[in-house]
Amino acid sequence: MKMGLVEESWRFYEWTKETKDPRTRNWFLLNDNPIYVILIVLAYYFIVWQGPKFMKNRKPYELQTFMIIYNWFLVILSAYMTFEIVYSSYLIGYFSTSNPLCAKYKHSEAYKDPKEMRLANVLYIYFLSKILEFMDTFLMILRKKDNQITYLHVYHHSSILIVWWIVMTYMPGGQSWMSSSMNCSVHVVMYAYYALAAIPSMRSKLWWKKYITKFQLVSFTC
């Protein structure tokens, strides 16, 4: 019984290797196993755990200039990814189907299509951007905004990287265009707010602050 379970597990492992997308197989962080991504997530957890302890007896950092630059960079990056994901999906023909939200990923044909490759490339940038967004948490730690580091915040930032490792390894296309483009479009608004809120004179003028939490909840579902 035990040997049968081992053999079945090994067959499943071999099957997962065979079903990987041939285009992304040798891309950075998308090799035969998720060990590097898992190590990145564990490092993130370690910083979340030890960071507040490190800052306990230290004064919070202001980081105003860095936050403005960082947030505007993510606004521009998110806007670019939104356009590129949606436009690539349109070129592929996802919008000509009866249900664009359930676009079918043609695994055996996708690697031959330059339009599918264009979508895979921008989804790879999206995947890497999830690592960059760990900086959101690190800035909260350095500014001693520990009350903002909720379970949902940490869970979202860490799990989405693993989920998108799976997407990029096995099916970088199809329905994944919808969640990624929605997440990016939400981030355009969200990071624009953060960039403006980093400027003290602008904070009182941000009347749309009450909508940011709703935008964040939408982002968490993507």
Specify the pLDDT at position 12. 56
Distance CA(129)–CA(77), nearest Å, equals 9
Q: What does the pLDDT read at residue 134?
A: 98
Q: Structural domain tally of the chain? A: 1
Cα separation, 119 vs 110, in Å, equals 10
Is position 52 within any domain?
yes
- What pLDDT sits at residue 20? 80
Q: Tell me, yes or no, whether 5 lies in a domain.
A: no
153, 156, 157, 187: which one is catalytic? 156
pLDDT tens sequence for the chain (222 residues): 455 666 666 565 565 666 788 888 889 999 777 899 999 999 999 999 999 999 999 999 989 999 999 999 999 999 999 999 999 999 988 887 655 665 666 665 556 688 889 999 999 999 999 999 999 999 999 999 999 999 989 999 999 999 999 999 988 888 889 899 999 999 999 999 999 988 888 777 777 777 777 776 766 665
CA dist 80 and 76 (Å) reads 6
Asked whether residue 9 is assigned to any structural domain, the reply reads: no
Q: 168, 212, 174: which is closest to 193 by C-alpha? A: 212
For residue 215, give the nearest of 178, 195, 189 by alpha carbon: 189
Is 18 within the bounds of a domain?
Answer: no
HSE-up (13 A, CA, CB side) for residue 34: 18
Q: Are 44 and 137 in contact (CB under 8 A)?
A: yes
Asked if residue 76 belongs to a domain, the reply is yes
Estimate the share of the chain in helix, then strand, then coil, as percent rounded to the nearest 5. Answer: 75, 0, 25
Tell me whether residue 156 is one of the annotated catalytic residues.
Answer: yes
| 183 within some domain | yes
Predicted confidence at residue 155, as pLDDT, reads 94
> What pLDDT was estimated at residue 132?
98
Alpha-carbon gap, residue 48 to 40, rounded angstroms: 12
Q: Encode pLDDT of 107-144 as tens digits.
A: 655 566 888 899 999 999 999 999 999 999 999 999 99
**Exposure of 45 by Cβ count < 10 A (0-12 exposed, 13-18 middle, 19+ buried)?**
exposed
**In-domain check, residue 20:** no
What range defines the domain where residue 48 resides? 25-220
Question: Is 176 among the domain residues?
Answer: yes
